[in-house]
Amino acid sequence: MAKTVKDYIRTIADFPHEGIMFRDVTTLFADARGFRMAIDQLLHPYAGEPINKVVGLEARGFILGGAIAHQLSVGFVPIRKKGKLPGTTIAQDYKLEYGEAIMEVHDDALKPGEKVLLVDDLLATGGTAEAGIKLIERLGAEIVGCAFVVDLPELGGRKLLEGLGYDVHALCDFEGA
């Protein structure tokens, strides 16, 4: 039987905290066939869509986003944690499970009207993706879609993003947190 993207993802119990089932995509990235399958499947729904830039969320979204941007022959824009970008940035705070954090993007990374595909490895509560969307839109760009390898449906991220009117594409889902 042919492998699916989900088959390449390792689960690590009790990481980073007890009770958490960590979905480790590094095993997917390490396998040439699995990685290519994931990139191809992330791209598929957006074939033929006008996309000017791919935006990746720190950190694993950089790996996926860079590969997708290469396939599309478009530019790549990183959205990073506060203090990691050297130029002038705009910032957006967001909630984490245990506190808050801040994401930043260079203030000249996107131009008004550019069509953007947002990419990350995992969609949980949707907080990081929502912060990324706000940054993209503050720069005047438009979201074509939000693509993820893994969705954790019980945590509500997909419902949040779809409720805000965004197209969400995930390659697989896992039950639990």
What positions carry a catalytic annotation?
60, 97
CA distance 15 to 71: 33
10 Å Cβ neighbour count for 1? Answer: 4
Among 69, 54, 70, 9, CA closest to 146: 54
CA distance 38 to 89: 31
10 Å Cβ neighbour count for 127? Answer: 19
CA distance 86 to 78: 12
Angle between the N-to-C axes of helices 32-43 and 60-72, in degrees from 0 to 180, rounded to the nearest 10: 70
The number of C-alpha atoms within 13 Å of 173 and in the hemisphere containing its C-beta is 15
